[in-house]
């Protein structure tokens, strides 16, 4: 088995994100300005580490969802810009803390911030960015929007704790996996889309966009979890096997374990324990996931959520913004092929 870079999907993401960025280029410039200026601190390690995580965070997916949701149902305002920046501040704060909790040395193939600066600054700069997010949210002048982001943040933390607890569970139910994904990824996508609408005066469409965001987040994370094992082909995007090495139980594993033999289950139980994992285990894990059809089944599950996301958009007025949100749902799934 050879694992080649997932260049096609990467190019597809760049192309879609480019189009999304073009759609809202003026707004995005305002958001980038906020991201740069509000990370400022006289304590140099804070902007240094912030700059690293912000550039590593990459494609600004969540702020784009906020901005495009706003345009799809109303008029983006300075409040929308502050909100979109706050969403990215929260996202990067959780990335910093996740890296410490996950014990992963790399993020998207680059050294994680904590690998360079250490765990302690990563925890504290995460706290700093999280607090700054709420300063920015004050600028939306909406206690309702602020409350939704605070609630999303509690749900993310709950999801992460739940994921920790799940790592000790060999036989994780699919429902528990989905609840974790909905909390740790779906909640912020949901809040990003919903509050984007609220910030633009599109309150009537906010519930539909909340549904869109939640299901998009589920599809996105499930595909991410499939890509950790190379998706349905041997082509890979991010460093394969991060979840595996950490002993995280994700959908491809749940399905492969359920469909496998007793011998397979014994393999999963041993290999997903970092203490007893061997170097050759990842290749065998990818083999089992392909052989049992677990990779396809995982992508099928994600497709269902992408379909629900698109379905939620039907009540929105037709516009290039609605089209972009639809394309994003399709794209999320296409990454796995």
Please give the residue ranges that form the binding site for a copy of itself (CB under 8 A). 41-43, 45-46, 94, 97, 100-101, 119-121, 123-125, 127-128, 130-132, 134-135, 138, 141, 143, 146-147, 149-151, 153-154, 156-158, 160-162, 164-165
d(CA 325, CA 58) in angstroms, rounded, equals 18
Q: Rounded CA gap, 114 and 97, in Å?
A: 9
Tell the smallest beta-carbon distance from residue 77 to a copy of itself (Å). 16
C-beta of 41 vs 234, nearer to a copy of itself:
41
Report in angstroms how near the CB of residue 46 gets to a copy of itself at its nearest. 6
DSSP 8-class letter at 141 = T
Nearer to a copy of itself, 165 or 283 (CB): 165
Of 11 and 43, CB closest to a copy of itself: 43
Q: DSSP for 114-132?
A: HHHH-HHHHHHHHHHHHHH
Cα separation of 47 and 166, whole Å? 34
**Given the complex with a copy of itself, which of 10 and 120 has the nearer CB atom?**
120
At closest approach, how far in Å is the CB of 101 from a copy of itself?
5
CB 38, min distance to a copy of itself, A: 10
3-state secondary structure of 5: strand
In degrees, rounded to 5, the angle at the alpha carbon of residue 93 between the alpha carbons of residues 88 and 99 is 125
135 or 276, CB closer to a copy of itself? 135
Q: What is the smallest separation between the CB atom of 100 and a copy of itself, expressed in angstroms?
A: 6
**Residue 198 Cβ vs a copy of itself, minimum distance, rounded to whole Å:** 14
DSSP symbol at 187: H
CB 49 → a copy of itself: shortest distance, Å?
A: 9
Contact (Cβ atoms closer than 8 angstroms) between residue 222 and residue 255: no
**DSSP letter (8 states) at residue 318:** P
Contact predicate 193/212, CB 8 Å:
yes
Which long-range contacts does 206-210 make (Cβ < 8 Å, 24+ apart)?
Answer: 206/73, 208/312, 208/313, 208/315, 208/316, 209/69, 209/72, 209/73, 209/312, 209/316
- Looking at the Cβ atoms of 64 and 83, the one nearer to a copy of itself is 83
Nearer to a copy of itself, 17 or 161 (CB): 161
């Amino acid at each position: 088995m050879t694992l080649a870079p997932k260049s096609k999907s990467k190019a597809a993401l760049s192309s879609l994100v480019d189009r999304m960025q073009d759609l809202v280029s003026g707004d995005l410039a305002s958001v980038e300005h906020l991201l740069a200026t509000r990370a400022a601190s006289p304590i140099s390690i804070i902007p240094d580490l912030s700059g690293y995580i912000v550039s590593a965070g990459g494609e600004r997916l969540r702020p784009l969802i906020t901005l495009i949701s706003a345009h799809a149902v109303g008029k983006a305002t300075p409040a929308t810009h502050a909100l979109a920046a706050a969403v990215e501040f929260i996202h990067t704060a959780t990335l910093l803390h996740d890296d410490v909790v996950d014990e992963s040395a790399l993020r998207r193939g680059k050294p994680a911030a904590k690998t360079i600066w250490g765990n302690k600054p990563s925890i504290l700069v995460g706290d700093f960015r999280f607090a700054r997010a709420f300063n920015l949210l004050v600028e939306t002048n909406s206690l309702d929007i602020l409350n939704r982001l605070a609630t999303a943040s509690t749900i993310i933390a709950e999801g992460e704790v739940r994921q920790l607890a799940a790592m000790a569970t060999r036989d994780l139910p699919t429902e528990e996996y989905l609840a974790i994904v909905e909390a740790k990824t779906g909640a912020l996508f949901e809040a990003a889309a919903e509050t984007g609408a609220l910030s633009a005066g599109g309150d009537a469409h906010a519930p539909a966009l909340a549904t869109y965001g939640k299901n998009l987040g589920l599809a996105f994370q499930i595909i991410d979890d499939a890509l950790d094992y190379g998706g349905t082909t041997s082509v890979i995007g991010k460093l394969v096997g991060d979840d595996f090495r950490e002993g995280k139980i994700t959908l491809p594993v749940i399905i492969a374990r359920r469909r496998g033999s007793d011998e397979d289950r014994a393999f999963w139980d041993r290999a997903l324990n970092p203490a007893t994992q061997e170097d050759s285990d990842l290749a065998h894990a990818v083999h089992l996931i392909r052989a049992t059809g677990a990779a396809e089944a995982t992508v099928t599950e994600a497709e269902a959520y992408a379909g629900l996301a698109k379905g939620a958009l039907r009540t929105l007025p037709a516009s290039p913004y609605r089209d972009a949100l639809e394309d994003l749902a399709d794209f999320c799934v296409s990454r796995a092929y």
